[in-house]
Structure 1
Amino acid sequence: MRPEVLAFVVAGPLPDRDADEEIVDLRFRQLEAISAPVTPDEAHALAACFGPDDCYGVAWSLLHLIETGPGSLPPVTRPDPDADVWHHTLWNRWGKHGLTDEDLTH
């Protein structure tokens, strides 16, 4: 894993909208330091960094970076019904590959 990806992952989940502006700016700069495309392993690690909300759009930038991974992205398990919106978004955008409608109803 590249150092800039590791630094972002080690910093933990994105803060919420109540965070200090400096923290939000720092996380955005960390994210900008990661060049696309990401590897499948990096995409999987980055997917664990979503916070409770969109963090002033930083979460959407993170999602788009994850989607730059070449080929198939890492497997994503169906989130629990009470999982946060980001895990549901990832599932809806790239977790269902190869599944049929019947698979999704179970």
Structure 2
Amino acid sequence: MRPEVQAFVADGPLPDCDASGEEIDRRVEQLSAIGRPVTREETKALIACFGPDDCYGVAWTLLHLIETGPNPVLASDPGPDANEWHQRLYARAVNGGLIPASPRPL
């Protein structure tokens, strides 16, 4: 795993929207330093970095970075209690025709 990805992952999940501007800017700089595409190992590490909200759009940047790697990132439905970003990655893979949708019980 590249050092840029290791540094981002080591800082943990993205902060929520109550974080300071400096903290958010620092995380954006970390993400910007990661070259595209990412490897499968890197996607598995990065997927754990989603925070509780969209962090002023930074979560979208993370999602798009993850999607530069081998797809699908999530091949099975993460379930209704999963982080919204994990659900979104799965839905995008289904909608993109990368994987069939898993039936959910009614």
Q: Above 0.5 in TM-score? A: yes
Q: Give, in angstroms, the shift of residue 75 of structure 1.
A: 4.3
Aligned mates of 2:66, 2:41 — CA distance in 1: 10
| Aligned alpha-carbon RMSD (Å) | 1.9
Aligned mates of 2:4, 2:99 — CA distance in 1: 31
Give the ranges of 4+ consecutive aligned residues of structure 1 lying more than 2 Å apart after TM superposition: 72-77, 94-99, 103-106
Question: TM (normalized to structure 2)?
Answer: 0.85
How many percent identity over aligned positions?
A: 56
Q: Give the aligned partner of residue 27 of structure 1.
A: 27
User: Can you list the C-alpha shifts for 1:77-102, whole angstroms capped at 9, x where unaligned?
Assistant: 42231222111101111268333x5x
Q: Give, in angstroms, the shift of residue 33 of structure 1.
A: 0.4
1:90 maps to a residue whose letter is L
Conserved? CA contact 1:40–1:69, under 8 Å = yes
Specify every segment of 5 or more residues in structure 2 that has no aligned partner in the other structure, as ranges: none
Q: Give, in angstroms, the shift of residue 31 of structure 1.
A: 0.3
Question: TM (normalized to structure 1)?
Answer: 0.85
Conserved? CA contact 1:40–1:73, under 8 Å = no
Alignment of 1:12-51 (within 5 A): 12-51=12-51
2:7 maps to a residue whose letter is A
Length, aligned pairs only: 103
1:31 maps to a residue whose letter is L
Conserved? CA contact 1:43–1:73, under 8 Å = no
Q: Secondary structure at the match of 2:6?
A: helix
Aligned mates of 1:31, 1:12 — CA distance in 2: 13
Q: Give the aligned partner of residue 79 of structure 2.
A: 80
User: Can you list the C-alpha shifts for 1:19-63, whole angstroms capped at 9, x where unaligned?
Assistant: 011110100000000010101111111111000111011100000
The reply on whether 1:67 has 2:67 as its aligned counterpart is yes
